Structure 1
Amino acid sequence: MPHRPRRAYDQFCAIARALDAVGDRWALLIARELLAGPRRYTDLHADLPGVSTDVLATRLRDLERDGVLGRRKLPPPGGAVVYELTPHGRELLPVLAALATWGAAGLAERRPTDAVRAHWFAVPLLDRLQRLAAGHEGVVEVELDEGAFHLRLGAGPGYGEGRAERADARLSLDTETCVALARDDLTVEKAIAGGRARLAGASPLAARLRGDA
């Protein structure tokens, strides 16, 4: 399939330049997935319900062309090709965090057609816990009914899918409570006090998130 010509707004504006690279439908959601780490094409397709294979392949080519992501082949015995964000692409994390804050009001009610993955809550929750941690560093493992993900707080914040190899704190809660935290309708301390969340861990980070420090 021939590669489509580059589309551009042709405006000497930083916002327009950014949208030239990531303004197409699905582009920022691909970045959301890759912020958790390298992913195979099949993994991306599975966690982007609704995207067609043709559109996903096109977006990946466009983002690679614009230096947002790259691809590499894993060493044997795996040998699979994975996509991963470049350092430039990883700088989209605060952009997505700002979008999550702006869009959080839309999570007041889940529509019957809405898909959900646990790690989709990672970006808004990372932003809230990063502020709450107030300089404390460490890894927080988050467990929802839909699955688990982990957050890296402190310098170079980020997140990953699944459980952490080593966690300084473990937060267990349901999706409704996670949404309330992401919307700033609830604090971790109040969620724990009200029995809506459990936080395990004896680290300084855990104490800070509980409000003990």
Structure 2
Amino acid sequence: MLSRLRRMSPRRSYDQYCSAARALDVVGDRWTLLIVRELFAGPRRYTDLHADLPGVSTDVLASRLKDMERDGITTRRRLPPPAAAYVYELTDRGRELLPVLQALGRWGEPELGERRPTDAVRAHWFALPLLRALEGAGLVEVRLGEGHFHLHVGAEDGPVYGDGPAPREPDARLLLDTETGTALARGELTLPDAVRAGRVTVTGDGTPAKALREA
């Protein structure tokens, strides 16, 4: 299947014998890494991806997903009845991009600045910045002005985060306002400092909650 996809849709290349150039051959196209960001929430339907990637056209999204499947970053499977829908999910190779996205996000913190009127926002876009700040392992529920999401801290497989409340009793709950979440995403405030200043309320008895209270 993979070889057939490669024959059907050859990719462009920088034609440089350099691992960074080769990596950009695969993930350097516009939208690719943002699709990866969304898929760290677990399997997603095409319509869900399109809804959470405001600005991407249907043609571009379909093209990127085909390219990512061809390159072994994602896979597509059909859910059993009654859902009977196709979902996209990351392969093990795709999951290896998490530290890449985290490093890119940290590098980009100074670029955020003030939110522009045209800027879309989703609550779960705060997930990866918060994940960088949490220690240990466990399920963390986050509530902020933009909505709810939960984090699987230290997860080695499966989703890294998800929309909505935690699917079970979390090891920690974080309550913060959007202003604090934005300051954390910009790198202007660390999570331990926000907790000490009373800008983030921490409840729970799991490892992530204890680490934050003791920091």
TM-score relative to the length of structure 2: 0.89
Q: How many angstroms apart in 2 are the aligned matches of 1:24 and 1:119?
A: 23
Matches within 5 A, 1:193-212: 193-211=196-214
Amino acid paired to 2:139: V
Unaligned runs of 5+ in 1: none
Give yes or no for the alignment of 1:31 onto 2:36. yes
Residue 186 (structure 1) aligned to one of 168, 184, 189: 189
Matches within 5 A, 1:119-158: 119-129=124-134, 133=135, 136-154=136-154, 156=156, 158=160
Matches within 5 A, 1:32-51: 32-51=37-56
1:168 paired residue number: 171
1:114-147 CA-partner distances (Å, limit 9, x unpaired): 0000111111211121xxx2xx321111112111
Residue 67 (structure 1) aligned to one of 67, 72, 91: 72
Report if aligned partners of 1:124, 1:182 keep a CA contact under 8 Å in 2. Answer: yes
Q: How many angstroms apart in 1 are the aligned matches of 2:155 and 2:36?
A: 20
Cα 1:175–1:55 shift into 2, 3 Å: same
* Aligned positions, number: 205
Give yes or no for the alignment of 1:81 onto 2:86. yes
- Over the residues paired in the alignment, what is the CA RMSD in angstroms? 1.7
* Percent identity (aligned): 65
Residue 91 (structure 1) aligned to one of 80, 85, 96: 96
Amino acid paired to 1:159: Y
1:52 paired residue number: 57
Q: How many angstroms apart in 1 are the aligned matches of 2:205 and 2:68?
A: 42
Secondary structure (helix, strand or coil) at the match of 1:6 reads coil
Q: How many angstroms apart in 2 are the aligned matches of 1:64 and 1:47?
A: 20
Q: How many angstroms apart in 1 are the aligned matches of 2:21 and 2:191?
A: 38
2:16 paired residue number: 11
Q: How many angstroms apart in 1 are the aligned matches of 2:67 and 2:154?
A: 32
TM-score relative to the length of structure 1: 0.90
1:166-207 CA-partner distances (Å, limit 9, x unpaired): 210000112221122234432334323433221111234312
Report if aligned partners of 2:109, 2:187 keep a CA contact under 8 Å in 1. Answer: no
